[in-house]
Amino acid sequence: MVLDCVYCETCWLFADRNYGHFKNNWISGICDWHHIYHKISIHEVSQQHVNATLLRSYWCKNETIDKHIEEQLLNETKFWRDVLSRIIKIILFLTARNTGLRGNEGSKRKNGLITEGNFIRTVKLMADFDPVLCKLLNDEKLKIKYLSWKIQNEVIDVLASEIRSILTSEVRNSNFFSIIADSTQDITKLDQLSLISRYILINYKKKVLK
């Protein structure tokens, strides 16, 4: 397990195990949080760490495997960031117009075709013009797609939480606000409570009301 500990990546990869004063503590992990700053300060100037840093810099300058792995990780990170950005934009586009993301998704029609919800259909439509989504759908090496209903619901929850945070912050900073509560029964005879908040924000720089 590598949890709840601090490691020195440079020493872990490049430290000379045959060094006479070799210490394994920064490779096995340090968990002394009360004295961590002091321990880091000592380790940074230790001969073991200095030698490992010099060796690592030599490898990086010569474009060895360390640099190639780092470039690969950066490219993968950028790709998945682009994927999530597009997924969020699609969900915002559909939900802003009260359009359902899914219906009877996964069920078969009479003609044998599997039904697709608005979300999946929109992703496939954009994939015809967008290389990122095209790679996501067509690359067989990518087992994870981030297109499941669980991911959709998680994104909606995150967006809803962020919107609530923005609205509550604006209400706290407003000069005046009011809250209106009302309830009504739905078709199953259950009361549905609605809360409406009205508030005023004054932008003194632009001299406008929001």
Q: Tell me the pLDDT tens digit for each residue of 124-165.
A: 999 999 999 999 999 888 888 888 888 899 999 988 898 889
What is the pLDDT at residue 64?
57
Domain extent for 52: 9-61
Burial annotation 127-150 (CB, 10 A radius, 16+ → b, else e): beeeebbeebbeeeeeeeebbeee
Element (H, E) at 202: strand 202-203
Q: Residue 126 domain-assigned?
A: yes
Decide the pairing of beta strands 176-185 and 208-209: unpaired
Q: What confidence category does residue 1 fall into, taking pLDDT thresholds of 50, 70 and 90?
A: very low
Q: What confidence category does residue 209 fall into, taking pLDDT thresholds of 50, 70 and 90?
A: low
0.75 surpassed by pTM: no
Indicate whether 83 and 140 sit together in one domain: yes
Number of domains in the chain: 2
pLDDT at 33 over 80: no
pLDDT at 69 over 80: no
Tell me if 51 sits within 8 A of 19, measured CB to CB.
yes
pLDDT at 108 over 80: no
Query: Which amino acid, one-letter code, is at 76?
Result: E
Residue 81's nearest CA partner among 146, 140, 8 is: 146
Q: Residue 119 domain-assigned?
A: yes
Q: What confidence category does residue 122 fall into, taking pLDDT thresholds of 50, 70 and 90?
A: very high
Indicate whether 124 and 146 sit together in one domain: yes
Indicate whether 37 and 107 sit together in one domain: no
Instruction: State the average pLDDT over residues 80-98.
Output: 91
Instruction: State the average pLDDT over residues 19-26.
Output: 81
Q: Residue 78 domain-assigned?
A: yes
pLDDT at 11 over 70: yes
Q: Residue 160 domain-assigned?
A: no
Indicate whether 106 and 80 sit together in one domain: yes
Q: Residue 204 domain-assigned?
A: no
